[in-house]
Structure 1
Amino acid sequence: MSAAQTTDIGENPHGAGPFLVTNRLILSIAVPMTLGFLTTPLLGLVDTAVVGRLGQATLLAGLAVGAILFDLIFTTFNFLRSATTGLVAQAFGRGDKAEEQAVFWRSLSIAVVSGIVVVALSPLILSAGLWLLAPGPEIEGVTRTYFQYRILAGPAALANYAILGFVLGRGQGMTGLLLQTLINGINIVLSIYLGLYLGWGVMGVALATVTGEVVGAIVGFAVIYARFERSVAPGWATIFSAERLKPLFGLNRDIMIRSFVLLAAFMLMTRIGTSFGPVTLAANSVLMTIFLVAGYYLDGIANAAEQLTGRAIGARFRPAFDRALKMTAIWSFALAGFTTVAFLVFGNRLVDLLTTVADVRTEAYIYMPWAAITALTGVLAFLMDGVFIGATWSRDMRNMMLLAFIGYVAALCVLVPVFGNHGLWAALNLFLLFRGFFLMLLVPRRSAQAFL
């Protein structure tokens, strides 16, 4: 069957076999997920504003320390979303509905069990985190309160990773948007109500997060389960067979290692930035916000690449894979170019919105061009991550991340002593380039093997 004879996902809801990749199909996944992801930084701003209005600096500092701890914990489990997306997309492309369901049950089981283990180990995790970050006694007390309540969301939060991975694997961008909006919307409203109106402060903000995650998990599970075809439901022996679990654990391991290395790269940048003094460190923090904002909507296109390339491999239809790669690359580079130009023109105004400290503003202006070009230097890395997740080429992702990290460390050793903070930002941009190009070089060989 030729590509001209095929239709997009809207006309081929079962997803099996050849299909035509269109701009509408790409945007039907990318736009909703971008909007959904953008609710996350909005939530962070609201939580900060709520606690900030309580009038005590220690409360805001304690919230910040607690947020760092949860970033570290949940980054560890990002693989639940990524691995689920790739495996479901391939089963979707094959038309294997039983395996779609089986992947969901496997991922959800791992998520819930992992969440329960995290809650059980939370006293040790909290003690280790406080020892590592070493906040003052007053800040430590606030962090303990926030952590002890928010950690209760662990099982639900990780379940939401599996749920989001499943809907993305099926290309259901609107469902993903609705779930993300529900989770973060409840969180935002309750943060304001519990934290400010009832005066519960940090505890209220933490309980708002717990409520949002639990409601999101219940609703997400109900939506997915209601759409399952009972006639093809897999048995428990199939779901938990060692042969089927092995690929999932392998994916999870590789993606977890890759995520840890990525986290280490950003932590290393922060650690080196401290040596340049508090003003430069604060300026770097403001500028990293710009990189993260660009990443949120570049991730939307990467999500489309995940689903479409995975689906093409499942369908064993090379034209769809090649077309998805080409069209998502065009969209990604166009958005990245627009973003870089926008930040070069309006970046200083954005800095003014993010900080009122004159010294930090002046310092950030100096390094703004480096932050602005991260959209262009990082675009290929975002896109290739999507392609390799969808194709479940996780070993390559892990290995190329390690290789890029070695190049990053070498660049830091050479550039920072000579150029200072300019060298630090140059090394970050090189790291982003390394990640993208190293993976891109593997695509021709890996795709040829996938479509033998």
Structure 2
Amino acid sequence: MDNWNREILRLAIPSIISNVTVPLLGLVDLAVVGHIGNETYISAIAVGSMIFNVMYWLLGFLRMGTSGMTSQAYGRKDRQECLDILIRTLMIGVGMGLLFIVAQRGIEWGMLRLMNTPAASWRFVATYFRIVIWGAPAMLGLYGLTGWFIGMQNTRTPMLVAVLQNIVNILASLFFVFVLGWGVSGVATGTLLAQWVGFLVSLYAAYRQITTVGVVERECLQECVRRVLAMTGKWGEFFRVNKDIFLRTLCLVAVNFFFTSSGGKQGPMILAVNTLLMTLFTLFSYIMDGFAYAGEALSGKYYGAGDKVGLRITVRRLFGFGIIMALFFTLMYVFGGVGFLHLLTSDRTVVVAAHPYLFWAYLIPVVGMAAFVLDGVFIGLTATRGMLFSTAMAMITFFVVYYLLWSSYGNDALWIAFLSFLGMRGIASILWARRYLVIF
């Protein structure tokens, strides 16, 4: 294995581990309340977790925008700019978290209705929300810190923090629920504690990297903040990049929400089938996102250093890994997909009902691979307009294909539209990269 591949794997593997552990925060909550013996608690935690997933997913630009700009500054060896970006993203992330706390009553009112919260779970969802919302500054600050670490070519720290968060969440939730008997409040408090522990540990790790590794010499934090506030042009660039990512995220949310909603309109069985099959996409995305993070760090570094040869080689190697992963997951799904579905549910009727649609799930890795790889490259180059363009084109394709085929093909049309969405994202990304970027 040469140095190029070794560098990609050094960054990708910790990111893959981090990605896999992220959903565990919500799963731990569900597992704990699942042993209390009340189905109302389970639905309350499920709805409460979904509320925060939606809120934070829309603000994912805090991680992605920070990653690209930091990796470029790292490639230029601009240590002061690396620190300025960190302070800038922390100010925005923590500030928005505080804004969420201030506006929590309005957010709670709207989200509980948007999620169609069952009447029996309403009080428990509200209890969960009113506790976990106090972790918003920590979570949004952590988004920025994670992006900064990736840009600094350090994916190991986010991995360790993610593992630590889950350990804290498990132990704290078990203690609060089963020792103190706090019920849903105990689960929420455990999650809140894990969020703040993760943020504070990451903040300390960033401080250590700044002062020990030598991003900048030890200097007055107040002076750094003054510099950041005074650099209006840099703030404009920061918001330009993040605006494109935010709009791109809205396109993704629109497609995902419509996919779920359309499945629900076909009845609980089709909704269950689509939910199970989408786990095959989710599993593949966890792996490919790890390589996308490596692409963010390395492409930004070489672009910032003006190394076009290094950038091209990195993109080619990323596509090489992407092809290998796509073939591996396709074979795994073809030969083990049914067995995987049986692991997810003991209801054989749902698995049987999923059989006619398994073929579409088998195509996900091959059709979707290019979009994952180029998303990472675009973020590293801060070519976020390309991400927005490709996702918007893909969203339009999704709805056109769906409405053209729906009356004749039903749920098959939904899956064909989703695969068209994934494929168009990759095709449009390649076309944009060939037209505007020097990476092929």
TM-score (norm. length: structure 1): 0.92
- The secondary structure found in structure 1 opposite 2:81 is helix
Given residue 323 of structure 1, which amino acid in structure 2 is its aligned partner? I
2: distance between equivalents of 1:21 and 1:414? 48
Given residue 328 of structure 2, which amino acid in structure 1 is its aligned partner? F
Q: CA deviation at 1:58?
A: 1.1
Given residue 324 of structure 2, which amino acid in structure 1 is its aligned partner? A
2: distance between equivalents of 1:60 and 1:400? 38
1: distance between equivalents of 2:176 and 2:365? 37
Q: Which residue number corresponds to residue 113 of structure 2?
A: 131
Judge conservation of contact 2:70–2:152 (CA < 8 Å) in 1.
Answer: yes
Identity of aligned residues (%): 32
225, 232, 245: which is aligned to 1:236? 225
Given residue 16 of structure 2, which amino acid in structure 1 is its aligned partner? T
Judge conservation of contact 2:72–2:304 (CA < 8 Å) in 1.
Answer: yes
209, 214, 224: which is aligned to 2:196? 214
Q: Which residue number corresponds to residue 102 of structure 1?
A: 84
Q: CA deviation at 1:54?
A: 1.3
Q: Which is further off, 287-296 or 153-162?
A: 287-296
Q: CA deviation at 1:199?
A: 2.8
Structure 1 residue 309 and structure 2 residue 299: aligned?
yes
Structure 1 residue 327 and structure 2 residue 328: aligned?
no
1: distance between equivalents of 2:414 and 2:114? 24
Q: Which residue number corresponds to residue 348 of structure 1?
A: 338
* Gap change, CA 1:21 and 1:324, over 3 Å in 2: farther
1: distance between equivalents of 2:117 and 2:91? 35
2: distance between equivalents of 1:320 and 1:361? 47
Q: CA deviation at 1:21?
A: 5.8
Q: CA deviation at 1:285?
A: 0.8
* Gap change, CA 1:239 and 1:199, over 3 Å in 2: same
Q: CA deviation at 1:197?
A: 4.1
2: distance between equivalents of 1:21 and 1:427? 40
- The secondary structure found in structure 2 opposite 1:22 is helix
Given residue 231 of structure 1, which amino acid in structure 2 is its aligned partner? E
2: distance between equivalents of 1:302 and 1:286? 25
Q: Which residue number corresponds to residue 140 of structure 2?
A: 158
Q: Which residue number corresponds to residue 378 of structure 2?
A: 388
Q: What are structure 1's unaligned runs of at least 5 residues?
A: 1-19
Judge conservation of contact 2:47–2:125 (CA < 8 Å) in 1.
Answer: yes
Q: What are structure 2's unaligned runs of at least 5 residues?
A: none
1:155-208: per-residue Cα shift (whole Å, max 9, x none)? 000010011001100111211211121122212332233234433222222111
Q: CA deviation at 1:429?
A: 0.7
Structure 1 residue 417 and structure 2 residue 407: aligned?
yes
Q: Which is further off, 221-230 or 98-107?
A: 221-230
1: distance between equivalents of 2:142 and 2:418? 31
2: distance between equivalents of 1:401 and 1:142? 37
2: distance between equivalents of 1:333 and 1:219? 36
Query: Which runs of structure 2 are paired with 1:284-299 in the superposition (5 Å)?
Result: 284-299=274-289
TM-score (norm. length: structure 2): 0.94
The alignment yields a C-alpha RMSD, in angstroms, of 1.8
Q: CA deviation at 1:341?
A: 1.1
Q: CA deviation at 1:44?
A: 3.2
2: distance between equivalents of 1:124 and 1:149? 15
Q: CA deviation at 1:325?
A: 0.3
Structure 1 residue 227 and structure 2 residue 190: aligned?
no
Q: CA deviation at 1:250?
A: 0.8
Q: Which residue number corresponds to residue 425 of structure 2?
A: 435
1: distance between equivalents of 2:173 and 2:339? 29
1: distance between equivalents of 2:324 and 2:429? 20
Q: Which residue number corresponds to residue 11 of structure 1?
A: none
Given residue 361 of structure 1, which amino acid in structure 2 is its aligned partner? V
Q: Which residue number corresponds to residue 65 of structure 2?
A: 83
Q: CA deviation at 1:134?
A: 2.4
Q: Which residue number corresponds to residue 369 of structure 2?
A: 379
Given residue 159 of structure 2, which amino acid in structure 1 is its aligned partner? L
- The secondary structure found in structure 1 opposite 2:18 is helix
Q: Which is further off, 357-366 or 433-442?
A: 357-366
2: distance between equivalents of 1:292 and 1:200? 33
257, 280, 294: which is aligned to 2:270? 280
- The secondary structure found in structure 1 opposite 2:191 is helix
168, 173, 182: which is aligned to 1:200? 182
Structure 1 residue 168 and structure 2 residue 157: aligned?
no
Query: Which runs of structure 2 are paired with 1:55-94 in the superposition (5 Å)?
Result: 55-94=37-76
- The secondary structure found in structure 2 opposite 1:172 is coil
2: distance between equivalents of 1:138 and 1:355? 25
Q: Which residue number corresponds to residue 9 of structure 1?
A: none
1:19-63: per-residue Cα shift (whole Å, max 9, x none)? x96111000000011011111233333322211111111111111
Equivalent residue pairs, number: 432
1: distance between equivalents of 2:291 and 2:407? 37
1: distance between equivalents of 2:3 and 2:395? 34
